[in-house]
Amino acid sequence: MAKIAGGILCDDHQIADTKQCVHCGRHWQWEHGSGKVRGYCMNCGGITCGNKRCHKCIPWEKKLELYEKGKLKTLC
Amino acid sequence: MARRYSVQFDNVSNATGTYAIALVNSISTVQAARARIYDFIIGSRASVADNACTYNFQRFTAAGTSTAFTPVALDPGDAASLAASGVNATVTPTYTANAYLLNISANQRATFRWIAAPGSELVIPATTANGIGVKGTPTTAFNVDGSILFEE
């Protein structure tokens, strides 16, 4: 089971969890049986959002550093 | 320990044409501190109605034009925030295509809150003018109120 990265509350009741991509930092609402294809990075040990750009392993912290140094054009 | 700040938006339209309900961005690379959004609360005090709206958090590389809001330190002993923030944008920030960080759909009747687990915040790089904006895409526009909490 992937780590819970966030929670959604509606009128003070928690109604859903969010998960986070280990390669781009994106959050999404976790829905069992949604049919959406996600990924798992064996190197980072966490789930990815399924975006093609996140198929290649560049850990999120590393990506931030590269971006801040101007060695990466976009963060997603 | 990280310093925490609040950005508030009050009676702001969530119409698509306003481009950003609220945003947080880095002022300068000199600050060498990344802002991290960890809490987002939104609701509406407008007359009760059934209107749906999708809220998108998206990265941008230029902040556009908005009403400046000075982030309020949650601890009064903290220094001023190194990041800048704005509300009710009238000129769209330069959003990065497909760089959606969180998409939420909520009804006007509900007060909605998203909280990040520690270490899972939405991170803004310490790069000049880079930030995250919250956009609304409603069925029928209505005014919203709320807060973005971030740390740096």
Model confidence pLDDT, tens digit, residues A20-60: 999 999 999 988 888 989 999 999 999 999 998 899 999 99
- The residue segments making up the domain with residue A52 are 6-68
A19: its two tokens: 């998960």
Q: Best interface-test mutation with B: which of A22, A27, A36, A66 has the largest number of B CBs within 10 A?
A: A27
Q: Specify if A73 maps to a domain.
A: no
For residue A26, the model assigns a pLDDT of: 94
Q: Specify if A59 maps to a domain.
A: yes
Burial class (CB in 10 A: 0-12, 13-18, 19+), B137: middle
Task: Kindly determine whether residue A9 and residue B96, on different chains, have CB atoms separated by under 8 Å.
Answer: no
For residue B18, the model assigns a pLDDT of: 61
Q: Is the pLDDT of residue A1 over 70?
A: no
For residue B129, the model assigns a pLDDT of: 87
Of A9, A51, A68, the CB nearest to B113: A9
Q: Specify if A1 maps to a domain.
A: no
Task: Kindly determine whether residue A10 and residue B112, on different chains, have CB atoms separated by under 8 Å.
Answer: yes
For residue B134, give the 3-state DSSP assignment.
strand
Q: Specify if A32 maps to a domain.
A: yes
- Could you tell me the mean pLDDT of each successive run of 10 residues in chain B, 152 residues long? 90 77 70 86 93 92 88 94 88 87 92 94 90 91 93 92
pTM: 0.93
Q: Best interface-test mutation with A: which of B31, B41, B113 has the largest number of A CBs within 10 A?
A: B113
- Work out how many domains chain A is built from and give that number: 1
For residue B1, the model assigns a pLDDT of: 77
B43: its two tokens: 């609701």
Q: Specify if A63 maps to a domain.
A: yes
Task: Kindly determine whether residue A64 and residue B123, on different chains, have CB atoms separated by under 8 Å.
Answer: yes
* Percent helix, percent strand, percent coil in chain B, to nearest 5: 5, 55, 40
Q: Specify if A58 maps to a domain.
A: yes
Does any CB of chain B come closer than 8 Å to the CB of residue A49? no
Report whether A50 contacts A2 (CB < 8 A).
Answer: no
Q: Specify if A12 maps to a domain.
A: yes
For residue B107, the model assigns a pLDDT of: 92
Look at residues A21, A20, A23 and name the one whose alpha carbon lies nearest to residue A57: A23
Per the listing, tokens 């909280």 go with B115
Residue A68 φ then ψ, to 5°? -65, -25
For residue B23, the model assigns a pLDDT of: 79
A21 Cβ neighbours under 8 A, 6+ residues apart: A46, A47, A48, A49, A51, A54, A60
Query: Cα B128 to the chain's mean position, in Å?
Result: 17
For residue B27, the model assigns a pLDDT of: 67
Q: Specify if A74 maps to a domain.
A: no
For residue B15, the model assigns a pLDDT of: 84
